[in-house]
Amino acid sequence: MGTAREQRREELAAWYDEHVDGLRRVEAALRDHLGGAITAAGLDDARLETRTKARESFLAKATKSDGRGGFKYADPTSQLTDFVGARVLVPLSADVAPVARLVQRLYLVEEMSDQRADQLLDVPGYQSLHFLLRFRPEDREVLGLADAPDVPVEVQVRSILQHAWAALQHDVMYKGERVPTDRVRRRLIALAGLLELADHEFMSVRVEHGDSAGMLDDAHAGGFDVAGVGAWAEEYVGDEAGSEPAAWAAALRGVLGELGATDPGEATSLLGAWADRGSELALTVRATRPWATASYVADLALREALGEDYLTRRGARQDGAS
């Protein structure tokens, strides 16, 4: 294995040296393209960091053992997806959504994983939104990447506090020689909960300060804001204007964003044949669920209208979902 690893390492090192300039061009294009879009969208508080995978980091990962005498990656040059990466740091967790919507509009998204949803919802811990994406062909031309490697790009979007916790816990969990004790793990989980509460408290402070536009509002980035979504849902079911609870409108706004609707017209077109049946549906649903808000009814209509596509477009796993 030792000789095989050395030989593989040499071959991969040569491959890396040959391609690294192209990878750096992809990184530079990503920095300019995404950075420019963030600025143009007025998301001034978002901070973009990019990097090209370092030679040693690539070689270490590419020669990882599979534990059975072989290598974890049969062809790391095509299997690894993190040659070029970007991280967008935003002030609070509520600010993740506007950036995510921007990313979804700009690039071809091959995968999107909400790390919050992949873990126990009851336990505080790692939170981040991860994208695996590629430039659109027309953008590759414009950005001068026609002859650069067509590698996927990893983009993480997370809040400052989420990032602080992830960085600090990573140092404790993975960089030391000692295996963390249960007590250390427990304290890290408690810290994640503390920071999550701090994040919520900062959002409350924003709202109390009158900065409602900063909370879940990316109208300036092309989406429609919480109030706009609430008004759209109210109109759909025929509810009184201003009656929709903000929490429900905010949740529906997340749904519409994942489905690709960035304005009322797009949201309505998603409803298809259900677009004119909001009042009727609300009446039926509220007979057994009197708590059903306009947003809830609109979400039900979207599920009916889009069928299986509803979950697919939201990036949900299909197994067991209904």
Partner 1 sequence: MGERACVVAGAGAWSFYLATGAWVGQENRRFGGAERLGFYSGRQIHGALPRIRHVVGSVPLTPEEAAGRTLGTDPVQRLVGEALAAALHDGMASPRVAVVLLSPADDPDTLTMEPLAHDGDAAWTMFQRVVDVDRLRAASSTADLGAG
Across the chain, the runs of DSSP E, i.e. the strands, are 47-52, 84-90, 108-114, 129-134, 153-159
Q: How far is the CB of 279 from partner 1 (least distance, A)?
A: 20
Residue located via tokens 């001034």: 44
Pick one of 67, 69, 242, 290: the residue that binds partner 1 (CB under 8 A).
290
Contacts of 80 (CB under 8 A, 6+ apart): 53, 58, 61, 62, 73
Pick one of 4, 146, 173, 316: the residue that binds partner 1 (CB under 8 A).
316
Q: How far is the CB of 290 from partner 1 (least distance, A)?
A: 6
Site for partner 1 in 255-284 (CB under 8 A): 255
User: Which residue type is seen at 291?
Assistant: W
Calpha distance 31→88 (Å, rounded): 11
Q: How far is the CB of 7 from partner 1 (least distance, A)?
A: 46
Q: Site for partner 1 (CB under 8 A): how many residues?
A: 27
Contacts of 271 (CB under 8 A, 6+ apart): 236, 298, 301, 302, 305
Q: How far is the CB of 108 from partner 1 (least distance, A)?
A: 22
Q: Is 60 in the site for partner 1 (CB under 8 A)?
A: no
Q: How far is the CB of 45 from partner 1 (least distance, A)?
A: 22
Pick one of 247, 266, 283, 309: the residue that binds partner 1 (CB under 8 A).
247
Q: Which is nearer to partner 1, 50 or 293 (CB)?
A: 293
Q: How far is the CB of 251 from partner 1 (least distance, A)?
A: 4
Q: Which is nearer to partner 1, 181 or 318 (CB)?
A: 318
Calpha distance 234→231 (Å, rounded): 5
Candidates 158, 136, 142, 14; CA nearest to 92 is 158
Q: Which two tokens stand for residue 174?
A: 């993975």
Pick one of 4, 117, 213, 283: the residue that binds partner 1 (CB under 8 A).
117
CA distances from 272 to 49, 265, 280, 294, 304 (A): 40, 11, 15, 18, 10
Part of the chain binding partner 1 (CB under 8 A), chosen from 15-23, 34-42, 266-274, 291-299 = 291-299
Calpha distance 139→30 (Å, rounded): 11
Q: Where on the chain is the footprint of partner 1 (CB under 8 A)?
A: 117, 121-122, 245, 247-248, 250-252, 254-255, 288-293, 295-296, 299, 311, 314-316, 320-322
